[in-house]
A and B are shown apart, each in its own frame.
Chain A
Amino acid sequence: MALGARPRSLPIAPLAPPSRRRLPLLAEVREVDRRVRPIYAVWELTLACDLACRHCGSRAGRARPDELSSEEALDLVDQLADLGVREVSIIGGEAYLRPDWLKIVERIRARGMICQMATGARNLTRDRLLAARDAGLQSLSISVDGLRETHDTLRAVSGSFAAVERTLIELQTIEGLRVTANTQINRLNLREIESLYAWLIEQGIAAWQVQLTAAMGRAADEEGLLLEPFQVLETHPMLVRAKAYGDALGVRMFPGNNIGYYGPFEHLLRGDRKVNHRGPCRAGQQSLGVEANGDIKGCPSLSSEEFVGGNIRDDSLLDIWERSQALRFTRDLSNADLSGYCAECYYAEDCYGGCHWTSSVLLGRLGDNPYCHHRAYELLRQGERERIVRERGAQGLPFDHGIFRIVREKAREAWIRRACEITESGEGFLEEEASTP
């Protein structure tokens, strides 16, 4: 299914509903809840955004009606530090659209935490960059999702790629800010990812993080944008090629949390780590997410409806971290939480279904993740493959999702042959016609 043309007008950004306040916390604090502490916090400073990305999980555009005041935000910084967070990534929307964002950066740094920012960079002027550096921002990651035409289509704003270009050129003349990039992989950009990486390296990035577009928010509305699960058979070899290219030039590629798991390329994708495979999701164990209204989740990408555990206007961050059931879910996962293929998988206890964000927004449940290279590969060996069919659309609210169904089917001989060739050689892509049943 092809993605439609870039809309002539921007998607209407919904007004986020106010936070669901006074969520109940559990009375008991267990040993594990005291011992696990977040290393990373990812903080949506505002939902206001100057882009209208067609794959935006939070449907950003308009600020939330109940975003934290400056005083509340600075207090939250202190609570993050007190909880042991060592690194804060500020995101949006677009973080720089919040008037007091530099004060928040300054406080993060004053409390001894690392501060980084992810940005679409549409209006990241030289003055803003210099002010951010002077406030203590250490690193920023530019979100780039394709070469010029593709990026502008995905970002739904003409000139978005030109803005990225300008920012990257500007950054080459600014000392003291590490420049990195991040990219979502989907059906529209899959075949230009390698070219994009080469271009980013030419622009001087130091590192690159990639992840698959998940079926959340506006991406759930764009069925033609989402990769079919069987396409990990072409995605993973492509990423290995890209990684080798970057490694040779001293640029590191970081596969995101929804790229895995345990397939024959895993040791190459994560070969620069001591443990050369991905472990289970650590949402609510090593990471937490903050929404602009003070809602707390175990991971910033998880849907608000199911995974917000509390709000810092009601309870302390420590109490939410230790006593919220929604933040505890990965601390308590067991095989009983797995279903479908994942329940019978050899790696079940090492993986627990991989990225819970990816599976939960796709299927409405945890523990069955079809975007898995091991799974696609083993199905290929049986002459089968999986694709997804949308059964229910999303509501149209930030961080919402629809419901998809996994269809497992016998693959055609020509398709099997091509998929095997790619796996054997590490080269090439599935033919377009071979991508259809």
Chain B
Amino acid sequence: MIACPACHRHIREPQCPFCGADAASLSTVTSTAPAKGSRHTLLALGVVALVSGCGESRDERAAPAYGVPCIDGDGGVCLPIDASVDAAIDAAADAASDAGNGSDAGDAGPG
């Protein structure tokens, strides 16, 4: 997904389903770091237009599931997400879908 250049909602289509903007014809998001008071979201007539920048892009880092944040730095203790994990999950999901299988979550999850 990409962030719509106009309203910054994450979208899959060329035309934003949230604000109607033609994402393909708009310039890409600027990389200006957000400054306090610089965000403007317009909620008029059900149409959202968020004008804002996003922070400088860095390498993907994962935060632990609980407690301690990962930190950049000397000998950094941040770990990159292993892309192969995502690929394996996607492949499994596809396989389950192809086989018409449901999820185990109903059994594993709370009643």
A-chain residues with CB within 8 Å of residue B77 when the two chains form the complex: 87, 114, 116, 138-139, 178
User: What is the CB-to-nearest-CB distance from B72 to chain A, in angstroms, rounded to a whole number?
Assistant: 7
Residues of A within 8 A of B107 (CB): 325
A87 touches B64 (CB 8 A): yes
Helix, strand, loop or mixed for chain B's interface? loop
Known: A178-B71, A306-B109. A346 touches B17 (CB 8 A): yes
B108, A301: Cβ atoms under 8 Å? no
Q: Give the complex CA separation of A105 and B9 in angstroms.
A: 43
Residues of B within 8 A of A266 (CB): 3, 8, 10
Q: Using CB atoms, name the residue of chain B closest to A324.
A: B108
A271 interface hit (Cβ, 8 Å): yes
**Contact between chains at A333 and B103 (CB < 8 Å):** yes
Beta-carbon contact of A140 and B29 below 8 Å: no
Q: Encode contact with B along A122-139: 1 for CB under 8 Å, 0 otherwise.
A: 000000000000000011
Tell whether, in the assembled complex, residue A329 and residue B109 are in contact, meaning their CB atoms are under 8 Å apart. yes
Closest-by-CB residue of B relative to A257 is B65
Question: Which chain B residue shows the least CB distance to A299?
Answer: B65
**Interface membership of chain A positions 246-267, coded 1 if the CB is closer than 8 angstroms to chain B and 0 otherwise:** 0110001010110000111111
Taking CB atoms, residues of chain B closer than 8 Å to A271 are 34, 54-55, 57
Residue A104, interface by CB 8 Å: no
A209-B69 contact given A39-B82, A244-B35, CB 8 Å threshold = yes
Q: Name the residue of chain B whose CB is nearest to the CB of A253.
A: B69
A273–B39 touching, CB < 8 Å? no
Are the CB atoms of B69 and A182 closer together than 8 Å? yes
Total number of residue pairs linking A and B with CB closer than 8 Å: 256
Minimal Cβ-Cβ distance residue in A for B40: A424
- Assess whether A336 is in contact with B103, with CB atoms less than 8 Å apart: yes
Chain A contact residues, majority secondary structure: mixed
Q: How far is the CB of A392 from chain B (nearest CB, A)?
A: 12
Are the CB atoms of A332 and B104 closer together than 8 Å? yes
- Across the interface, name the chain B residue whose C-beta is closest to A419: B43
B107 smallest CB distance to A (angstroms):
6
With A35-B88, A346-B17 already in contact, the answer to whether A333 and B105 are too (CB < 8 A) is yes
Interface string of A1-43 (1 = CB under 8 A from B): 0000000000000000000000000000011100111011010
Interface magnitude class on chain B: 35 or more
CB of A426 within 8 A of CB of B37, answer yes
User: In the bound complex, do residue A426 and residue B41 qualify as a contact, i.e. CB atoms below 8 Å apart?
Assistant: yes
| Residue A431 CB within 8 A of the other chain | no
Judge whether A427 is part of the interface by a CB distance below 8 angstroms.
Answer: yes
A245 at the interface (CB under 8 A from B): yes
0/1 string, B67-93, CB within 8 A of A gives 1: 111111100010101101110110111
Is there contact, CB below 8 Å, between B108 and A286? no
Bits for A325-339, please: 1 = Cβ < 8 Å to B, else 0.
110111111101100
Instruction: Give chain A residues whose Cβ lies under 8 Å from the Cβ of B54.
Output: 267-268, 271, 276
Tell me whether B102 and A268 are in contact (CB under 8 A). no
Tell me which residues from 28 to 64 in chain B have a Cβ below 8 Å from any Cβ of chain A: 29, 33-43, 46, 48, 50, 52, 54-64
Smallest CB gap from A39: residue in B = B79
Cα A52 to Cα B88 in complex, Å, equals: 41
Q: Are B10 and A277 in contact (CB under 8 A)?
A: yes
Q: Which of A227-259 contact B (CB under 8 A)?
A: 237, 240-241, 243-245, 247-248, 252, 254, 256-257
Query: Judging by beta carbons under 8 Å apart, are B105 and A337 in contact?
Result: yes
Contact B34 A35 (CB under 8 A): no
Residues of A within 8 A of B46 (CB): 381
Which residues on the B side are within 8 Å of A209 (C-beta)?
Answer: 63-64, 67-69
Whether B89 pairs with A118 at a CB distance below 8 angstroms is no
Q: Which residue of A lies closest to B43 (CB)?
A: A420
A314 within 8 A of B: no
**Given contacts A209-B67, A285-B89, A365-B110, is CB(A240)–CB(B39) below 8 Å?**
yes
Query: Are B84 and A35 closer than 8 Å at their CB atoms?
Result: yes
B9 in contact with A180 (CB, 8 Å):
no
- Write the nearest CB–CB distance from A177 to chain B, whole angstroms: 11
> Which residues of A does B touch, CB under 8 Å?
30-32, 35-37, 39-40, 42, 86-87, 89, 91, 114, 116-118, 138-141, 143, 178, 180, 182, 206-209, 237, 240-241, 243-245, 247-248, 252, 254, 256-257, 262-268, 271-277, 279, 282-283, 285-287, 289, 299-301, 303, 305-307, 309, 325-326, 328-334, 336-337, 346-347, 350, 356, 360-361, 364-367, 374, 377, 380-381, 401, 420, 423-427
Starting from the known contacts A264-B7, A268-B54, 13 additional A-B residue pairs (CB-CB under 8 Å) come to A31-B88, A40-B62, A87-B70, A116-B64, A267-B54, A268-B39, A276-B3, A286-B85, A329-B105, A332-B96, A332-B105, A337-B106, A361-B110
CB pairs A–B below 8 angstroms (11 shown): A42-B67, A87-B79, A178-B73, A206-B73, A208-B69, A264-B48, A267-B10, A301-B66, A329-B109, A337-B103, A367-B105
